[in-house]
Chains A and B, each alone.
Chain A
């Protein structure tokens, strides 16, 4: 297992390099221009100058190597700097600079992580906590009213886009009832009970919208997987041996059913970091998803490149983790 993990990790490096290059080529080919959002009153000659000062239009191999050097050399060095280890001259380092803010891309990303983890991460946790029991009960009592209701709600939850549910919640809870704020305050510092309550209040709506969406997907997979396992021979054997129903379901069936669900959950974790573009936009959570969409809209290629590459790393990593967990949960799977 360890051997396998190490080999996969080693193999991940060329994979990631290929991915980063493909992303770079795509962004290079993509239409769009960082001066596109400037007022039309700014003449084209000035725009050409601005593009030049940003370094747009450099040959792709040069731009790519500059970015690689920024990502793998200068940024780690800058981090070492922060903890007090200085290697080389800090002022010589060309960090990756965003076109729109002219600030280092990594600082922007670090600023966004708290709200994204809070809102999207928490909604994912809630989603799982809701989905697993619903999936288990739905499968165990297949075609009961509980199952039917669960199916109905999760299908509606999945099929109605978040831009609609989000707006519906704002209209009901912010406009009509005035219970929760419709705008997320990213500058709020939680340092007392009151500010904690404010934080909770502003998180209720975005977390609910996302948790519903996540729960509806995961509960479907959970239910399907449980149903498969409930009809297997080992379950009959276990029951025949006189094992308590609770033990059969919760120990044997659940454990085996969780295997594919764990894959789904692990594969979903990178999406926490990529944020929830639409929900973040509706509630103005301004996390990583909103950062990405702003970058794409403004053709801020260094930002988009760096963000998507970080997502790529996370995806590759969590795929590996999913496989490893798979091996641990199901001893029948042998990777070598």
Chain B
């Protein structure tokens, strides 16, 4: 009986293969995707994390997506507007998108410019709590020029006007479905939030929040040959090692998102031969932030603020530089990241044209140099081998979020600093607390009540303007601004502010690159941010999947309609 069944299955598989060449919709059966963070909601504007945005990117499309190489590709639009083709106005204050006229929603109704206008208003509603609000920053109005043309007006000149509706964070939702869900009512529309009607390759079949999503192919998808898969199961939960194992070792899944496993364990899993690791480098950098103000608890309200005064020893540039020189970044990569990390000396490592080469000296560890630097600056070893000057000991509290790779990195760096006579106490904080902005918690990364903290940050899309703007004086977190701000080192330089302001006015890509590099070099040469590792996005894909390219600039599933089954 069983043999017969296998035979029938094999024949079925063979015929599937024959038709796959003709690329027919839904001919490749079922696709199993594993996310170790379970999906909570399918409305990306109300999502709680990357996993929700990626899960909804199978259903909803923006006007344009980023391709894996960082270039933009029109999705619901016919072309990318630029100054050259007249889509972006000369004064950089508006952008006009031409929409495809052959697109229908999965319920069969036509897609028009009214939906785009509605989506913008939905997110701009101040009571809605839309998490893509920064994509719509400075948007003054969105107007429908005609049925298939949309014009977005900005209140200031936008050298990079591709925030709204480019990438999976800000897709177009259907007006008919969401029109009663504006503002404060947004969270109440559970049905719409759990099953949005979209223009993407798949539609929701069943959604169990915080557990599993099942999709089926969208019968009305704009490309009649896509998607190749008839159904998709996106299962959440477990941990990264478990999801990776289910692709590489047991073969139960086809794709595992965000692999965070020690390199040697990964090698062993890959030895099973069922799949491989795919990686791509975006803009993520694991970095150390150096506290320039005094985090002494005795200061009370002035703790870790400019008013509290400079840090007892990290305000000395020689110490900061020595800390950076003492780190062997190659070892950090080898132990914690393997092929998924690269040594970097820049906080802005990509895209290519923005990457500076001025700081590459940090790639080699220089313990003797670091020691000499500290000696010269007057920091001499005390009786216990820890350096001190005027009664101030080089004793560092080093915090990060809880994660086994980070704890390994912490331990390694602690030992490297030990060698140059710096004492380190390690602390790890639950990620939800560390990255959460709870005002009452002393452990958030913004409050930074420590000497050094480590985490990864990056920026959306390919434009670094907002990212480099993180380190201007006004971004310094303090009680006055409810600790909101991204300038964790509390770095403040008029020169840097000026560069940042200039970038906001410059349209030419070469000029912008020059400015961004200058800002990066300034931060690096002051050693207020110590970059460690340029981290890749890493996922695991089964050998039987075809056309899978990891996309570091957009949702990993943004082009899942192109994926196929190989065997």
Using CB atoms and an 8 Å cutoff, list the residues of chain A in contact with chain B: 29, 31-54, 97-104, 107-108, 111-112, 170, 174-175, 178, 181-183, 185-187, 280-282, 284, 286, 290-291, 294, 297-299
A47 cross-chain contacts in B, Cβ below 8 A: 437
- Evaluate contact between B250 and A281: CB separation under 8 angstroms: no
A98 cross-chain contacts in B, Cβ below 8 A: 40, 209
> CB < 8 Å: which of A48, A178, A186 contacts B482?
A48
User: How far is it, in angstroms, between the C-alpha of A49 and the C-alpha of B130 when the chains are bound?
Assistant: 8
- Evaluate contact between A41 and B460: CB separation under 8 angstroms: yes
The closest CB in chain A to the CB of B126 belongs to: A49
User: How far is it, in angstroms, between the C-alpha of A280 and the C-alpha of B211 when the chains are bound?
Assistant: 12
Q: Give 17 CB contacts A-B under 8 Å.
A: A31-B441, A39-B49, A48-B482, A48-B484, A101-B41, A102-B190, A102-B193, A107-B190, A108-B209, A111-B211, A112-B211, A181-B252, A280-B237, A282-B242, A286-B208, A291-B210, A298-B48
Stretch at the interface among B149-157, B330-338, B426-434, B508-516: B426-434
Pick the most buried of A41, A42, A107: most chain B CB atoms within 10 A of its CB: A41
B458 contacts A by Cβ under 8 Å: yes
Using CB atoms and an 8 Å cutoff, list the residues of chain B in contact with chain A: 34, 37-38, 40-41, 43, 46-50, 126-131, 133-134, 184, 186-188, 190, 193-194, 206, 208-212, 214, 233, 235-239, 242, 245-246, 249-250, 252-253, 272, 430-438, 440-441, 443, 446, 455-460, 467, 482, 484-486
- Evaluate contact between A43 and B48: CB separation under 8 angstroms: no
- Evaluate contact between B436 and A281: CB separation under 8 angstroms: no
> CB < 8 Å: which of A31, A280, A281 contacts B443?
A31
> CB < 8 Å: which of A32, A183, A298 contacts B441?
A32
**Known A53-B127, A182-B252; contact A103-B209, beta-carbon cutoff 8 A:** yes
**Known A49-B126, A102-B41; contact A41-B458, beta-carbon cutoff 8 A:** yes
> CB < 8 Å: which of A44, A100, A112, A186 contacts B484?
A44
Q: How far is the CB of B45 from the nearest CB of chain A, in Å?
A: 10
> CB < 8 Å: which of B130, B212, B435 contacts A186?
B212
B440 cross-chain contacts in A, Cβ below 8 A: 29, 31
User: How far is it, in angstroms, between the C-alpha of A200 and the C-alpha of B128 when the chains are bound?
Assistant: 45
User: How far is it, in angstroms, between the C-alpha of A36 and the C-alpha of B436 when the chains are bound?
Assistant: 4
User: How far is it, in angstroms, between the C-alpha of A222 and the C-alpha of B38 when the chains are bound?
Assistant: 40
- Evaluate contact between B432 and A40: CB separation under 8 angstroms: no
A50 cross-chain contacts in B, Cβ below 8 A: 129-131
**Known A39-B50, A175-B249; contact A294-B210, beta-carbon cutoff 8 A:** yes
- Evaluate contact between B432 and A36: CB separation under 8 angstroms: yes
Q: How far is the CB of B209 from the nearest CB of chain A, in Å?
A: 4
- Evaluate contact between A40 and B484: CB separation under 8 angstroms: no
Q: How far is the CB of B565 from the nearest CB of chain A, in Å?
A: 19
- Evaluate contact between B210 and A100: CB separation under 8 angstroms: yes
A54 cross-chain contacts in B, Cβ below 8 A: 129, 187
- Evaluate contact between B133 and A49: CB separation under 8 angstroms: yes
User: How far is it, in angstroms, between the C-alpha of A174 and the C-alpha of B127 when the chains are bound?
Assistant: 49
> CB < 8 Å: which of A38, A46, A175, A284 contacts B237?
A284
User: How far is it, in angstroms, between the C-alpha of A261 and the C-alpha of B323 when the chains are bound?
Assistant: 60
Q: A41-B460, A48-B482 are in contact. List 12 more A-B contacts (CB 8 A).
A: A32-B433, A32-B441, A39-B50, A41-B457, A41-B459, A44-B437, A101-B41, A101-B210, A111-B211, A112-B211, A175-B249, A183-B238
User: How far is it, in angstroms, between the C-alpha of A99 and the C-alpha of B34 when the chains are bound?
Assistant: 23
Which 9 A/B pairs are nearest by Cβ-Cβ distance? Answer: A53-B129, A33-B436, A36-B436, A31-B441, A44-B484, A102-B187, A37-B49, A101-B209, A50-B129
B206 cross-chain contacts in A, Cβ below 8 A: 187
The closest CB in chain B to the CB of A29 belongs to: B440
A51 cross-chain contacts in B, Cβ below 8 A: 129, 437
- Evaluate contact between A290 and B129: CB separation under 8 angstroms: no
B134 cross-chain contacts in A, Cβ below 8 A: 41-43, 46
- Evaluate contact between B129 and A286: CB separation under 8 angstroms: no
Chain B interface mostly helix, strand, loop or mixed? loop
- Evaluate contact between A100 and B41: CB separation under 8 angstroms: yes
Q: How far is the CB of B438 from the nearest CB of chain A, in Å?
A: 4
The closest CB in chain A to the CB of B242 belongs to: A282
- Evaluate contact between B128 and A53: CB separation under 8 angstroms: yes
Q: How far is the CB of B486 from the nearest CB of chain A, in Å?
A: 7
The closest CB in chain A to the CB of B269 belongs to: A175
B431 cross-chain contacts in A, Cβ below 8 A: 36-37, 297
- Evaluate contact between B34 and A32: CB separation under 8 angstroms: no
A294 cross-chain contacts in B, Cβ below 8 A: 38, 40, 210
> CB < 8 Å: which of A33, A42, A44 contacts B131?
A42
The closest CB in chain A to the CB of B38 belongs to: A294
**Known A103-B194, A108-B209, A290-B237; contact A299-B250, beta-carbon cutoff 8 A:** no
The closest CB in chain A to the CB of B49 belongs to: A37
- Evaluate contact between A175 and B272: CB separation under 8 angstroms: yes
- Evaluate contact between A187 and B486: CB separation under 8 angstroms: no
- Evaluate contact between A38 and B131: CB separation under 8 angstroms: yes
The closest CB in chain A to the CB of B194 belongs to: A103
A35 cross-chain contacts in B, Cβ below 8 A: 48, 131, 436-437
User: How far is it, in angstroms, between the C-alpha of A329 and the C-alpha of B446 when the chains are bound?
Assistant: 60
A112 cross-chain contacts in B, Cβ below 8 A: 211
The closest CB in chain A to the CB of B42 belongs to: A101
The closest CB in chain B to the CB of A108 belongs to: B209
Q: How far is the CB of A58 from the nearest CB of chain B, in Å?
A: 14
B131 cross-chain contacts in A, Cβ below 8 A: 35, 38, 42, 46, 50
- Evaluate contact between A33 and B250: CB separation under 8 angstroms: no
- Evaluate contact between B235 and A183: CB separation under 8 angstroms: yes
User: How far is it, in angstroms, between the C-alpha of A108 and the C-alpha of B40 when the chains are bound?
Assistant: 10
Q: How far is the CB of B40 from the nearest CB of chain A, in Å?
A: 4
- Evaluate contact between B245 and A175: CB separation under 8 angstroms: yes
User: How far is it, in angstroms, between the C-alpha of A44 and the C-alpha of B239 when the chains are bound?
Assistant: 28
- Evaluate contact between B49 and A286: CB separation under 8 angstroms: no
A41 cross-chain contacts in B, Cβ below 8 A: 134, 457-460, 467
Q: How far is the CB of B413 from the nearest CB of chain A, in Å?
A: 21
**Known A36-B436, A45-B484; contact A286-B212, beta-carbon cutoff 8 A:** yes
User: How far is it, in angstroms, between the C-alpha of A173 and the C-alpha of B445 when the chains are bound?
Assistant: 42
- Evaluate contact between B187 and A284: CB separation under 8 angstroms: no
> CB < 8 Å: which of B246, B460, B485 contacts A183?
B246
- Evaluate contact between B48 and A49: CB separation under 8 angstroms: no
Q: How far is the CB of B244 from the nearest CB of chain A, in Å?
A: 12
- Evaluate contact between B253 and A40: CB separation under 8 angstroms: no
**Known A48-B484, A182-B245, A299-B436; contact A103-B252, beta-carbon cutoff 8 A:** no
> CB < 8 Å: which of A53, A178, A298 contacts B187?
A53
User: How far is it, in angstroms, between the C-alpha of A54 and the C-alpha of B252 when the chains are bound?
Assistant: 38
Q: How far is the CB of B562 from the nearest CB of chain A, in Å?
A: 24
- Evaluate contact between A183 and B253: CB separation under 8 angstroms: yes
User: How far is it, in angstroms, between the C-alpha of A157 and the C-alpha of B192 when the chains are bound?
Assistant: 47
Q: How far is the CB of A296 from the nearest CB of chain B, in Å?
A: 8
The closest CB in chain A to the CB of B233 belongs to: A187
> CB < 8 Å: which of A101, A111, A178 contacts B40?
A101
A291 cross-chain contacts in B, Cβ below 8 A: 210
> CB < 8 Å: which of A40, A102, A181, A280 contacts B435?
A40
**Known A37-B49, A40-B457, A286-B236; contact A32-B209, beta-carbon cutoff 8 A:** no
A104 cross-chain contacts in B, Cβ below 8 A: 190
> CB < 8 Å: which of B40, B43, B436 contacts A100?
B40
The closest CB in chain B to the CB of A173 belongs to: B250
- Evaluate contact between A182 and B250: CB separation under 8 angstroms: yes
User: How far is it, in angstroms, between the C-alpha of A186 and the C-alpha of B210 when the chains are bound?
Assistant: 12
The closest CB in chain B to the CB of A100 belongs to: B40
User: How far is it, in angstroms, between the C-alpha of A35 and the C-alpha of B40 when the chains are bound?
Assistant: 13
- Evaluate contact between A31 and B433: CB separation under 8 angstroms: yes
A100 cross-chain contacts in B, Cβ below 8 A: 40-41, 48, 209-210
B446 cross-chain contacts in A, Cβ below 8 A: 44
User: How far is it, in angstroms, between the C-alpha of A183 and the C-alpha of B126 when the chains are bound?
Assistant: 41
The closest CB in chain A to the CB of B434 belongs to: A36
B237 cross-chain contacts in A, Cβ below 8 A: 280-281, 284, 286, 290
User: How far is it, in angstroms, between the C-alpha of A100 and the C-alpha of B436 when the chains are bound?
Assistant: 14
A39 cross-chain contacts in B, Cβ below 8 A: 49-50, 460
- Evaluate contact between A175 and B460: CB separation under 8 angstroms: no
